[in-house]
Structure 1
């Protein structure tokens, strides 16, 4: 809602701009009319201080380390909820009752299979194809099987959530040359994915409940994170009225970048490097503090959080539990704990607010679950799907939404005269 105005003075001319206040007290200066009134634009490289929309989905306070989905603290959801329940909350705005959740889960189970013809697409991918590229391509192709009609929006939401885990598991099986495993109707969402990942046609695979529970937490913690790169991409593509599957596929493409979804893989690579160098993590702590050295500790600090990432606490506990319960002896966890201890006590890290973030432990947890590093970003995408869907839905239902069209400050040559080739 509008609460007061801000004044901008430019070339002696004064302009009044509305100040919008959000439900958590966040304030924003509305510059929508600035270009038409004053023929100027604002410049904000990377949109770090620009609000692209008003949204009722997720609230983040980076200074306080707060993350809430639809008003519910992430701490409560991570401990007590299930991923289908959180998906429903994000997409439809409220927690489901027992009947709604039961029906939602049933739909996610019964629509897990992909069209048999779509299996042929996997034959065209090279064995070395990255699973993230396969996921993006397969999601985009879904629009050819499920045309977008207004009355089918809810069903397409179900189809995407249900089939994405099957596509992800098939992408992994393709990469290792194993046969595809069909989903089962008697398994939960997370257990079904793990079954399709690790089962074989000739053997029985019982999904350990510790792994299913850990995956459930991981997906919840990644379900949404406000206007990040991939979510903003989904909203921007959807603003052109591109179809649902194309919009989500674009988000997957944005997430594939190493500065976004690939960060946890970089953490694992760093820990492996330290281990191969004898495990002396303090050596690398000192290198990170040396301004003349190019080495940087991965998984520390966050563009949004200026405090401890609330999600990292849960992932550390989950990693401990899985490794202990499964009897896994992983030296990388000890290195990670050592680095975390330094970061929480060393003045260098405290002054710069370089606390461990969600990527720091998620890679170790995926590794303990037997998920290879090439699949880490795919796992991130599976978790982020309900958030992307919620933002797509919110934008589509906003009567004031318009096609996104950022401006620029041109810095190229002034007008020049074209010289024909034979005269150059």
Structure 2
């Protein structure tokens, strides 16, 4: 790879690179429309006097891709996205998301993502029964959740809970059982892996419901039997002792569709975080906790909450034109439009719009719906947004559904994280079983800091000013302020 090119070479599936620094020409193979970044390490050049030592051209050329805009880090068979055409398909056989949303369920789709094919009736029954069987958590979990502040964000609780969960299962920890615990691909290893998958999917709804209940100041509910995955979830959140309680079938189905749509989305930020963390061969609970933390961010799992707050700030349909003008002037942020991958419409948004109509039939139309429709219609007809390919995405409608169903805004990311667990596990499992084993992910950097310099004593240093170059003191109040004015032994004189 990346060897100097032979003048007689006739390779058609390759890239010819000429290094104008040395005059050498290199041939880089192309496979699956991809060139290997490591091939460019063969492109070396002597260091010039003006070159920084840290750039070290003698060790080969590096490839810069800030934010992974065009870097492939793994071969995957799980999810296919064509952002230009607005296509989303699950697994290598290419099931369109529209067909799955119409005919499948979240757990069946989870099976598809994890194991690679739609299950038989017996396979699905086994998978569903194992997942539901493993939904119950240890009694100590109650004390764990009660230890959080009354106003703790539910995503902080859920992230912590996934990590906490791993402390119960030493057989799932490669640090304790050997680093090839999940990479051997033998029957015992695969069975161990499946058990952790059942536990994480089954307990995801229970942990999320506990985070919800502790915020409400309510007792926790043991997962019931005989309900669907989302039915059980709604039951654990809402049951207050009523006899023969069953959640609304419309809301149960809507939530299942939303879970299915959010199950996976290729190498998004949280899935990549799971793989980055998992590449160290940490236990799967820690890897899922890391993914949950990544999803917490407003640029990822918090986007649907941002849509609702945006619609509230707009107020009414007549204020939409002024809001869009403010967006064009970069005075306001338009949430729920555009996507890092999709350059046309998000295929999930059409399905969610239909689901929203079903939900509104039983909940009544949300007061923000008219504002949302006015914003939607105005933006998709405005050349400014059309030319920038800012079409509605999945977050634009999902927030309205969650709001209509009565969920608090800060619980919206939890409703994203719970279904995404199956996608995270599918990617984690695939990486554990990949040919050649697991290599720890270690990206390169381009060092642009200071060159080598000698230590300078404090009294001889030049003061470096600026907000980015020196710490900013905290304005203290309360006990800290009073303590600062008090006298006591050992008090600093600074």
Cα RMSD (Å) of the superposition? 1.6
2:314 paired with 1:308? no
- Equivalent residue, structure 1, for 2:18: 9
Tell me which of 216, 226, 229 is aligned to 1:176: 216
Spell out, residue by residue over 1:286-315, the C-alpha distance to the aligned partner (whole angstroms, 9 max, x if none): 2222x3x42121111111111110000011
1:170-215 Cα offsets, whole Å, 9 max, x none, are: 0011112111111111110010001111111356642111101110
What SS does the aligned partner of 2:81 have? strand
Cα pair 1:3 1:20 within 8 Å, conserved: no
Map of 1:364 onto structure 2: 400
Partner residue in 1 for 2:31: 20
Alignment partner for residue 271 of structure 2, among 218, 223, 231? 231
- Quick one: distance in 2 between partners of 1:3 and 1:160? 47
- 8 A Cα contact 2:317 2:371, kept in partner: no
Note the alpha carbon deviations across 1:60-119, whole angstroms, 9 max, x for none: 000000000011000101111100100000000010000010111111221111011122
Q: The residue matched to 1:45 in structure 2 has which SS?
A: coil
TM-score (norm 2): 0.81
Contact 2:79 2:88 in 1 (8 A): yes
The alpha carbon displacement at 1:18 in A equals: 1.8
| Cα distance in 2 between the residues matched to 1:267 and 1:107 | 36
SS in 1 for 2:223: coil
From 244, 256, 266, the equivalent of 2:296 is 256
Partner residue, 1:165:
205
The residue that corresponds to 1:83 in the other structure is: 106
Aligned counterparts, 1:185-264, within 5 A: 185-201=225-241, 205-264=245-304
Unaligned runs of 5+ in 2: 1-10, 45-59, 173-180, 182-188, 462-494
Is the counterpart of residue 413 in structure 1 residue 450 in structure 2? yes
- Whether 1:138 and 2:161 are equivalent positions in the alignment is yes
**C-alpha separation in 1, matches of 2:248 and 2:67:** 43
State the alpha-carbon separation in 1 of the partners of residues 412 and 356 from structure 2.
15
Q: Which position in structure 2 is the counterpart of 1:389?
A: 425
Deviation at 1:362?
A: 0.5
User: How far has the Cα of 1:127 moved from its partner?
Assistant: 1.1
Q: How does 1:45-56 map to 2 (within 5 A)?
A: 45-56=66-77
Equivalent pair of 2:335/2:396 in contact (CA under 8 Å): yes
**Which structure shows the higher helix fraction?**
1
Contact 2:317 2:375 in 1 (8 A): no
Paired residues, what number?
Answer: 414
Q: Secondary structure at the match of 1:68?
A: strand
1:308-350 CA-partner distances (Å, limit 9, x unpaired): 1000001111111111223x23121111111111122222222
Give the secondary-structure state (helix, strand or coil) at the position aligned to 2:15: strand
For residue 340 of structure 1, what is the aligned residue in structure 2?
A: 376
| Offset at residue 423 of structure 1 (A) | 4.4
Residue 147 of structure 2 is matched in structure 1 by 124
**Map of 1:105 onto structure 2:** 128
Any idea what SS the aligned residue of 1:306 has? coil
Shift of 1:37: 5.0
Contact 2:259/2:416, CA 8 A, preserved across alignment: yes
Deviation at 1:420, TM superposition (A): 2.7
Aligned-partner Cα distance in 2 for 1:169–1:349: 39
Give, in whole Å, the separation in 1 of the partners of 2:409 and 2:308: 8
Shift of 1:15: 2.1
What is the rounded CA distance, in whole Å, between the counterparts of 2:348 and 2:221 in structure 1?
32
Aligned to 2:84: 63
Q: Secondary structure at the match of 2:89?
A: strand
The aligned counterpart of 2:327 is 288
